[in-house]
Amino acid sequence: MRIVLATFGLVICTVFAVLAATANLPVLAVIMAVLAVIAAIDLVVVIRRRIKRGNGHSLFG
């Protein structure tokens, strides 16, 4: 479940960062880009923990 939420956060923040940059809102674009980086780091941590734990491929495991 955390993988799905982290992926969702990454996609949404990236889209909003691009939209803010194209709308000439640099502060909002930077904030969204930072949040996208945080979501990407969270996604990597969750995936690494899942691999280390070795719990198969369950979505809710």
Both tokens of 14, joined, read: 């990236």
- How many structural domains are present in the chain? 1
Report d(CA 36, CA 20) in Å as an integer. 13
Q: What pLDDT shows up at residue 52?
A: 81
Which residues lie closer than 8 Å to 60 by C-beta, 6 or more apart? 1
In a domain, 49, yes or no: yes
pTM of this prediction exceeds 0.75: yes
In a domain, 9, yes or no: yes
Question: Which pLDDT tens digit goes with each residue over 6-19?
Answer: 999 999 999 999 99
In a domain, 60, yes or no: no
Question: Which pLDDT tens digit goes with each residue over 20-39?
Answer: 999 999 999 999 999 999 99
Report d(CA 45, CA 27) in Å as an integer. 27
Range(s) of the domain holding residue 7: 2-53
Q: Is the pLDDT of residue 56 over 80?
A: no
Positive or negative CA dihedral for 44, 46, 9, 36?
Answer: negative
Q: Is the pLDDT of residue 1 over 90?
A: no
In a domain, 61, yes or no: no
